[in-house]
């Protein structure tokens, strides 16, 4: 089997330990982190966001070690600045209007173009890169894997609150991001050249200045030989991040294996996949998705069992069986959204929800 390398990026909240609100870190965490972590830590547009990213990892065990190290460093650096770190797709009650923007020419240009759509994009995600052999293989895999994006997304749901409100969604983060152009489930592309022609047309017509402004839920990376999954909320726990990354890697490996056997996975239209994405955002793992082959609704848990069966024959080759099967723990104990909502139901206090997220973010780092 080819080496389906991994790269994992996580976006964290910086929290004031007194008010429990987001607090702009003025790049102090980033500056401190770059001394030891170098390019693996960087600022984002909002100063209350810190992003970390692993090096290229050859297997899921390397990825776990790096994710754990990065979380530990960021939490320790934040502690030195009297800040906490939290992993959730949105903050339970902080308002985007109160947040400072990082001084940066690129961010200034983005705000000049998108105005409050950019300013209001105060969300926190998980991005996972899976290495591929070629862009042509990559586009074929991408076309097939799109079907499973809602299944993956439901497991990551971790943003039920927005500006102090229970939104009724398990992931409101995607609803915020939908305001951006070029987001959501991508179209079907017949070839890598068609994909590249689309990007080049947008660049030529001044819609974008580079391919990184394609913000779909999954994309061929414009500069790296990777498929990049972008649909997920950042999970609270390391175990959840690693489980999702391992599942994404397994899906890429499985589709690749089918291709090499001259088999295929039926591609579905974007409009159909979007129906499942909406359900995943609204209900998470507690709802039903549509099985388009059977043309009927199926409880998410049943579909998840079928998903595990689908990737089963590549897990041992990848060495990721334990990590992927952590899905069963998520199904038993709930996603981050389920657990946030449970704390709020018990306490009626969104500050207690923040405290819970902060503690969960630390799980497994020592």
Half-sphere exposure of 47 (CA within 13 A, CB side): 17
- Comparing CA positions, the residue from 220, 168, 233 lying closest to residue 193 is 220
SS3 51: strand
User: Which residues does 271 contact at the CB level (< 8 Å), separation at least 6?
Assistant: none
Cα–Cα separations (whole angstroms), residue 166 to 181, 283, 344, 348, 359? 26, 13, 9, 11, 21
C-alpha 283, offset from chain centre: 17
Cα–Cα separations (whole angstroms), residue 314 to 2, 7, 137? 11, 19, 18
Q: How far apart are CA 330 and CA 311, in angstroms?
A: 18
pLDDT at 38: 64
Six-digit token pair at 62?
A: 């390397």
226-233 and 125-131 beta bridge pairing = antiparallel
List, as own/partner pairs, every contact residues 317-321 make where C-beta atoms lie below 8 angstroms and the sequence separation is at least 24, other chains included: 317/1, 317/253, 318/1, 318/4, 318/59, 318/60, 318/246, 318/249, 318/250, 318/253, 319/59, 319/60, 319/61, 320/59, 320/60, 320/246, 320/249, 320/250
Q: Which CATH class is domain 6-362?
A: alpha beta
pLDDT at 27: 65
For the beta carbon of residue 134, count every other beta carbon within 10 angstroms: 10
The one-character DSSP state at 181 is: S
Q: Residues 33, 41: contact at Cβ < 8 Å?
A: yes
Question: In the block, which residue shows the tokens 């780092």?
Answer: 365
Q: pTM here? A: 0.96
pLDDT at 103: 87
- Comparing CA positions, the residue from 19, 295, 334, 309 lying closest to residue 154 is 334
SS3 231: strand
The one-character DSSP state at 102 is: P
- b/e per residue 349-358 (b: at least 16 CB within 10 A): ebeebbbbbb
Q: Tens-of-pLDDT digits for all 366 residues of the chain?
A: 788 999 999 999 999 999 999 998 756 777 777 766 767 888 789 999 999 999 999 999 999 999 999 999 999 999 999 999 999 999 999 999 999 998 889 899 999 999 999 999 999 999 999 999 999 999 999 999 999 999 999 999 999 999 999 999 999 999 999 999 999 999 999 999 999 999 999 999 999 999 999 999 999 998 999 999 999 999 999 999 999 999 999 999 999 999 999 998 888 999 999 999 999 999 999 999 999 989 999 999 999 999 999 999 999 999 999 999 999 999 999 999 999 999 999 999 999 999 999 999 999 998
């Amino acid at each position: 089997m080819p080496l389906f390398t991994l790269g994992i990026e996580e976006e964290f909240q910086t929290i004031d330990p007194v008010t429990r609100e987001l607090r702009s870190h003025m790049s102090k965490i980033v500056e401190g982190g770059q001394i030891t972590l170098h390019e693996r830590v960087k600022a984002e547009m909002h100063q209350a966001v810190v992003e970390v990213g692993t090096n290229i990892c050859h297997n899921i065990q390397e990825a776990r070690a790096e994710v754990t190290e990065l979380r530990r460093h960021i939490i320790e650096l934040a502690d030195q600045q009297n800040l906490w770190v939290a992993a959730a797709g949105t903050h339970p009650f902080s308002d985007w209007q109160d947040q400072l923007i990082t001084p940066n020419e690129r961010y200034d240009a983005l705000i000049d173009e998108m105005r409050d759509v950019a300013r209001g994009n105060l969300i926190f995600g998980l991005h996972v890169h899976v290495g591929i052999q070629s862009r042509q293989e990559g586009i074929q895999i991408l076309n097939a894997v799109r079907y499973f994006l809602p299944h993956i997304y439901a497991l990551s749901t971790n943003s039920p609150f927005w500006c102090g409100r229970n939104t009724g969604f398990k992931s409101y983060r995607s609803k915020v991001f939908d305001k951006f152009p070029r987001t959501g489930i991508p179209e079907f592309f017949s070839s890598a050249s068609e994909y590249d022609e689309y990007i080049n047309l947008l660049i030529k017509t001044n819609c974008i200045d580079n391919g990184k402004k394609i913000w779909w839920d999954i994309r061929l990376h414009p500069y790296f030989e990777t498929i990049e999954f972008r649909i997920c909320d950042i999970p609270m726990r390391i175990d959840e991040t690693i489980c999702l990354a391992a599942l994404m890697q397994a899906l890429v490996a499985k589709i690749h294996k089918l291709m090499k056997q001259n088999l295929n996975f039926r591609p579905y239209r974007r409009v159909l996949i979007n129906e499942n994405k909406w359900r995943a955002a609204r209900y998470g793992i507690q709802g039903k998705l549509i099985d388009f082959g059977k043309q009927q609704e199926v409880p998410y848990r049943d579909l998840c069992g079928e998903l595990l069966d689908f990737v089963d024959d590549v897990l041992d080759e990848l060495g990721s069986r334990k990590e992927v099967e952590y899905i069963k723990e998520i199904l038993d104990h709930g996603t981050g959204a389920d657990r946030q909502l449970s704390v709020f139901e018990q306490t009626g206090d969104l500050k207690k929800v923040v405290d819970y997220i902060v503690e969960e973010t630390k799980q497994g780092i020592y």
